[in-house]
């Protein structure tokens, strides 16, 4: 939609359209029901039940909602079980009294560390944070955001005989197709193999594009076509799978914090790569910039091969174990 608007409207009107969409987005966010996990952590059980009912499309008293509430309680506030050592009634009664006393003191005993401490202290969380952080960082440094921002200029130089506006719209459609392919392939083939194949193909495309642009031995439309191939391969794995891993590789207690930190880091890197891209073109040329991006794509393949465990079909506990086994 953005590329089509860029084709049809002037820069001033594009800003107004984006502002209107931002206001609409803010208004729609006002209507969003709060997360049941957040409400449970605030001890607002009735509100959490209503939230689950809203998102499940069920009544608050339905079996689905009650089962989900029970699962959340077990996840967030695990119960303490005391088993009596013998079967005598007196001992069982004493154990039951002791259990009640312990449950009364549970809020004081079961004080969980903060998310930041847990992220630092938990080996599997640290490992997941490192691996996913590497994949997200290298993904940005593979240059797609810079190519998106400067798509019109790149196509003007790579294929001057073609309409740069048309090339930009086709470029956006290819990104969409790559994302749809990733949606289908991630659960079918697994995360690890998609990262490796996607990054390797991206590195190859970038090297070939750089060589063609540097030597000029092929018609201008060939590098333009390779840019589209590069975008498809990028979105089919390297550009999309890390966000799947972002939701899989952390225990619930650190999920929100880890996701927030990594996403802030990603956007900081996006700002950095967009800011330096004109200077890369100035000092190294477009072909040299593509060579630099290819180096990072190669590193991304190596991270997929040597550091990333396969998480397809695994539970959260199994993923934590897989991260630790990979470390060993």
Dist. CA 194–CA 245, nearest whole Å? 12
- Please, which pLDDT band fits residue 4 given cuts at 50, 70 and 90? confident
How confident is the model at residue 101, as a pLDDT? Answer: 55
Q: Does 111 or 91 have the greater pLDDT score?
A: 111
How confident is the model at residue 221, as a pLDDT? Answer: 77
- Please, which pLDDT band fits residue 30 given cuts at 50, 70 and 90? very high
Dist. CA 194–CA 237, nearest whole Å? 5
Say if residue 97's pLDDT is above 70.
no
How confident is the model at residue 79, as a pLDDT? Answer: 44
Contact 237, 138 (CB under 8 A): no
C-alpha R_g of the chain: 26
Contact 179, 232 (CB under 8 A): no
How confident is the model at residue 192, as a pLDDT? Answer: 95
The torsion region of residue 143 among left (phi > 0), alpha (psi -120 to 50) and beta comes to left
Dist. CA 310–CA 191, nearest whole Å? 6
- Please, which pLDDT band fits residue 158 given cuts at 50, 70 and 90? low
Say if residue 317's pLDDT is above 90.
no
pTM over 0.85: no
How confident is the model at residue 178, as a pLDDT? Answer: 94
- Mean pLDDT over 85-108 rounds to 50
Q: Does 224 or 21 have the greater pLDDT score?
A: 21
Say if residue 41's pLDDT is above 60.
yes
Neighbour-count burial for 89-112, b at 16+ CB within 10 Å, e otherwise: eeeeeeeeeebeeeeeeeeeeeee
The token pair at 81 is 């079980």
Number of H helices, E strands in the chain: 16, 0
pLDDT tens-digit series, residues 47-70: 999 999 999 999 998 999 999 898
Dist. CA 18–CA 6, nearest whole Å? 11
The token pair at 118 is 């847990």
Percent of the chain whose predicted confidence (pLDDT) is above 70: 87
How confident is the model at residue 80, as a pLDDT? Answer: 40
pLDDT tens-digit series, residues 164-221: 778 778 888 999 999 999 999 998 999 999 999 999 999 999 999 899 888 889 887 7
Contact 254, 122 (CB under 8 A): yes
**Average per-residue pLDDT in the chain?**
85
pLDDT tens-digit series, residues 234-282: 999 999 999 999 999 998 789 889 999 999 999 999 999 999 998 998 9
Dist. CA 293–CA 149, nearest whole Å? 15
The token pair at 112 is 């969980």
- Mean pLDDT over 143-152 rounds to 80
Q: Which fold has domain 115-327?
A: Growth Hormone; Chain: A; (1.20.1250)
Interacting residues of 285 by C-beta distance below 8 A, sequence separation 6+: 213, 214
**Count of alpha carbons within 13 Å of 212, Cβ hemisphere only?**
19
The token pair at 71 is 């699962």
How confident is the model at residue 128, as a pLDDT? Answer: 94
């Amino acid at each position: 939609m953005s590329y089509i608007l860029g084709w049809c409207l002037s820069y001033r009107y594009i800003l107004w359209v984006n502002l209107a969409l931002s206001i609409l987005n803010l208004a729609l966010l006002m209507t969003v029901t709060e997360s049941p996990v957040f409400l449970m952590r605030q001890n607002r059980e009735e509100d959490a039940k209503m939230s689950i009912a809203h998102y499940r499309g069920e009544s608050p008293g339905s079996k689905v909602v009650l089962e989900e509430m029970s699962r959340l309680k077990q996840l967030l506030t695990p119960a303490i079980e005391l088993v009596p050592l013998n079967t005598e009634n007196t001992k069982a009664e004493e154990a039951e009294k002791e259990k009640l006393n312990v449950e009364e003191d549970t809020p004081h005993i079961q004080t969980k560390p903060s998310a930041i401490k847990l992220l630092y202290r938990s080996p599997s969380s640290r490992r997941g944070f490192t691996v996913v952080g590497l994949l997200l960082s290298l993904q940005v440094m593979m240059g797609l955001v810079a190519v998106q921002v400067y798509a019109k200029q790149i196509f003007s130089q790579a294929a001057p005989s073609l309409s740069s506006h048309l090339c930009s719209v086709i470029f956006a459609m290819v990104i969409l197709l790559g994302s749809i392919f990733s949606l289908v392939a991630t659960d079918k083939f697994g995360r690890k193999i998609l990262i490796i194949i996607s990054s390797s193909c991206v590195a190859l495309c970038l090297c070939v594009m750089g060589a063609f642009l540097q030597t000029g031995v092929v018609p201008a439309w060939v590098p333009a076509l390779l840019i589209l191939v590069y975008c498809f391969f990028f979105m089919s794995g390297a550009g999309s799978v890390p966000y799947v891993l972002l939701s899989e590789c952390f225990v619930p207690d650190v999920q929100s914090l880890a996701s927030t930190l990594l996403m802030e880091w990603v956007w900081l890197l996006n700002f950095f790569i967009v800011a330096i891209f004109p200077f890369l073109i100035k000092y190294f040329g477009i072909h040299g910039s593509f060579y630099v991006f290819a180096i990072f794509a190669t590193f991304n393949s190596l991270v997929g091969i040597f550091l990333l465990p396969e998480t397809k079909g695994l539970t959260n506990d199994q993923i934590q174990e897989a991260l630790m086994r990979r470390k060993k």
